[in-house]
Amino acid sequence: MSVRQLDLAKVREFGNLEFLAKQLVEGFITGLHKSPFHGFSVEFAEHQLYNTGESTRNIDWKVFAKTDRLYVKRYEEETNLRCHILLDTSSSMYYPEDNFGKMTFSVMAAASLTYLLQRQKDAVSLCTFTEQIEVQTAVKSTPSHVHKIMLELEQQLQTKRPLMKTSVADVLHQIAEKIHKRSLVVIFSDMFDNIEEAERIFSALQHLRHNLHEVLLFHVTDRETEENFAFENRPYEFIDLETGEKIKVQPDQVRESYQQFVGDFYQKLKLKCGQYKIDFIEADIAKGFDPVLLAYLVKHSKMR
C-alpha cells in the first residue's frame, strides 16, 4: 500500500494508525524536497534557528560545526503552539459507506497532524463532536498523550453510529468559550449542518477569530458525488445519513438545481472564511493528504 496515496478502505484493515501516520508524514516531508516547495523549512527536532539578539547560552556548537549554521537547543517542556483538532463524527462523515470515506480520510489526516505536532514539540488536543462535544482531551505534547489521541481516532473507524446529526455552530461556540489561550483550531467536517441556518455557522467561526484563535477549516467531501452529483441517470433512493429520510429520484432531474444550491452555500462559506481570515481548504477524499499537511505547515510557519 503506497503511503502517499492510501486506499481508504485499507486504512481500517491495517489497524496501526500511529505507524501509518508516521510513514505518511515522513513520505510527505521527503516529497517536499523533490517538489517546487524545496527549501520549505520543516524544523522538527530539538533545534530552531538562532535569531540575532537571542542569548547564545543554548547554541548547539556541535551542530554549528557540522552545518555552519547557528541553532538553539529546544527542550521538551517548551511548546511553540497549542493546537485543537476538531473532528466531526456525525453519520454523514461515514459516507461513502463502503469505506467510511470521509471519516477515514479525516482520521488519517488528524493522526498525521498529531504526529507532526508531536515532532515539533507542540501541544495538541483532540475534540470529537456531533450535536455536542463527545470527547475532548487535554492539550499536551507527551508521547503517552499522543498515543491516547491515536487510540481515540482509531475508535472512530470501528463502527458508524446511526442517525447522528451534527451541530457545527453550537460546538464551535462552545470551543471558543473553552479555549483560554491563543491557539490553532483545526476543523475536519463536511459542514453538513442545517445549510439553511448558514449564518449560525458563520457567526461561530467569527467567534473563534474574535477570541484571537487561528483557524484551519478542512472541508471534507467526496467531491465527485457530493458536489458534482456524478451519478448514472437511473432511479436511485437517496438516504440522509443523519435523519434517515429517504427520497427516490432520477439524478438528471435534480442535478442542476442540486449543484446550484450546494455550490452557492460552499461559495458563501469560502467568502466568509476569507472575510474572517480563516484558511478554508477543500479536502476532497480522492486527492490524498498532501494538501492537508501543506496547509498546516504554511499556517504553522506564519504563526511562529
Residue 228 inside a domain? The answer is: yes
CATH number of the domain bearing residue 271: 3.40.50.410
Residue among 42, 9, 36, 18 at smallest CA distance from 293:
42
pLDDT tens for the chain, residues 1 to 304: 444 456 777 787 777 899 999 988 988 887 776 555 444 444 444 567 777 777 776 777 777 777 777 877 665 444 578 999 999 999 999 999 888 999 999 999 999 999 999 988 899 999 999 999 999 999 999 999 999 999 999 999 987 777 888 899 999 999 999 998 899 999 999 987 766 678 899 999 999 999 999 999 999 999 999 999 999 989 999 888 888 889 999 999 999 999 998 899 889 999 999 999 999 999 999 998 989 999 998 888 777 6
Residue 93 inside a domain? The answer is: yes
Residue 101 inside a domain? The answer is: yes
Residue among 87, 248, 113 at smallest CA distance from 175:
87
Residue 60 inside a domain? The answer is: no
Residue 52 inside a domain? The answer is: no
Quote the pTM value.
0.82
Residue 48 inside a domain? The answer is: no
Domain count, the chain: 1
Task: List the 123-129 sheet strands across, edge first.
Answer: 133-136, 123-129, 82-88, 184-189, 214-221, 279-284
C-alpha cell at 274: 476569507
User: 3-class SS at 70?
Assistant: coil
C-alpha cell at 164: 447522528
What phi, psi does 279 have (nearest 5°)? -75, 115
Residue among 181, 86, 76 at smallest CA distance from 118:
76
Query: What distance in Å separates the CA atoms of residue 8 and residue 19, rounded to the nearest whole number?
Result: 15
In order of 40, 66, 266, 273, 278, the CA distances from 124 in angstroms are 23, 32, 29, 23, 19
Residue 58 inside a domain? The answer is: no
Q: What is the pLDDT of residue 304?
A: 63
Query: What distance in Å separates the CA atoms of residue 103 and residue 108, rounded to the nearest whole number?
Result: 8
Q: What is the pLDDT of residue 1?
A: 40
CB count in 10 Å sphere of residue 46: 15
Residue 159 inside a domain? The answer is: yes
Residue 210 lies in domain: 8-36+77-303
